[in-house]
Amino acid sequence: MAYLALDTSSEQLSLAIAHAGQIHARVWQVGQKHAELTLPALRTLLTELGLEMAAITGIAYPQGPGSFTGLRIGCGIAQGLAFARNLPVVGVSTLLALAERSGALQAYVCIDARMNQVYTAAYTRAALDQPWQMVLEEQVCDPDAVPLPPGEGWLGIGTGFAAYAQALQERLGAQVSQIAASEQANAEQLLQLALPRFASGDVQPAHEANLVYLRDKVALKTSERVAK
């Protein structure tokens, strides 16, 4: 069995395949070319690993938030691949994937939402091998009005800390003691978060894949995205 994750939520394209007890991940800087480059990149990665698409038994995709266009492309590709083979899918929050990427026990995630706003959330876990708990819910807000996390010693991660460094520093103060402003969501972390869900059966059929747009407080299903 092998599982695939793809992330198209930023100017990066990343793919990851879990096979034989290992996760094999690749990242490319593609700008706005996810639609034309994702499938060729997937074929390349499968070839490198000596696999065929028939070996894939589940697909994880970025559920959002992030680039609207990139998210639609990622969800659409995941749906198409999964529908053709009757595979289950798992949507993973890009904010949670960034928390996973942090390698910390307390992650304050903040990514640039454009329009002078940020997407943010805060997560904690008891140990590195334990699941995350959401402390501050995922939301969109102005940089100078982000919610304050409890206590101190938080790692701030995400592009919001690069785009709105001064406003976030003034707002969060000493509660966020370290910052990783250049980090972006990655398919490797999406897959790490998705694997337990595949194992437990917490999955969806391809046609029920959805995206979460925090700015509008809605989740759009396939029919709604087509209507747009």
The answer on pLDDT for 217 being more than 80 is no
Give backbone dihedrals phi and psi of 94, rounded to 5 degrees, phi first: -70, -30
Sequence spans of domains, the chain: 2-94+186-227, 95-180
- Choice between 224 and 138, residue whose per-residue pLDDT is larger: 138
The answer on pLDDT for 223 being more than 50 is no
Mean pLDDT estimate for the chain: 92
Q: Which class would CATH give 2-94+186-227?
A: alpha beta
Q: Which of 98, 202, 120 is nearest to 168 (CA)?
A: 120
Give CA angle at 95 (84, 58), nearest 5°.
Answer: 20
Q: Which residues contact 154 (CB under 8 A, 6 or more apart)?
A: 106, 107, 108, 122, 172, 175, 176, 177, 178
For 41, the token pair is 């990149």
| Average pLDDT of span 30-37 | 91
Structure confidence by residue, pLDDT tens digits, 82-114: 999 999 999 999 999 999 999 999 999 999 998
The answer on pLDDT for 56 being more than 60 is yes
| Average pLDDT of span 5-31 | 94
For 145, the token pair is 């009005």
Q: How far apart are the C-alpha atoms of 46 and 190, rounded to whole Å?
A: 18
The answer on pLDDT for 219 being more than 60 is no
Let me know if the fold of 2-94+186-227 is the same as that of 95-180. yes
Residue 109: beta bridge partners? 121, 157
Give backbone dihedrals phi and psi of 223, rounded to 5 degrees, phi first: -65, -35
Q: What is the pLDDT of residue 216?
A: 62
Helix (H) or strand (E) holding 128: none
Cβ count within 10 A of residue 212: 20
97 and 7 Cβ atoms separated by less than 8 Å: yes
Region 95-180: CATH code: 3.30.420.40
For 9, the token pair is 């939520």
DSSP letter, residue 5 = E
Q: How far apart are the C-alpha atoms of 70 and 22, rounded to whole Å?
A: 27
Q: What is the pLDDT of residue 227?
A: 41
3-state secondary structure of 4: strand
Whole-structure pTM value:
0.91
Q: What is the pLDDT of residue 197?
A: 97
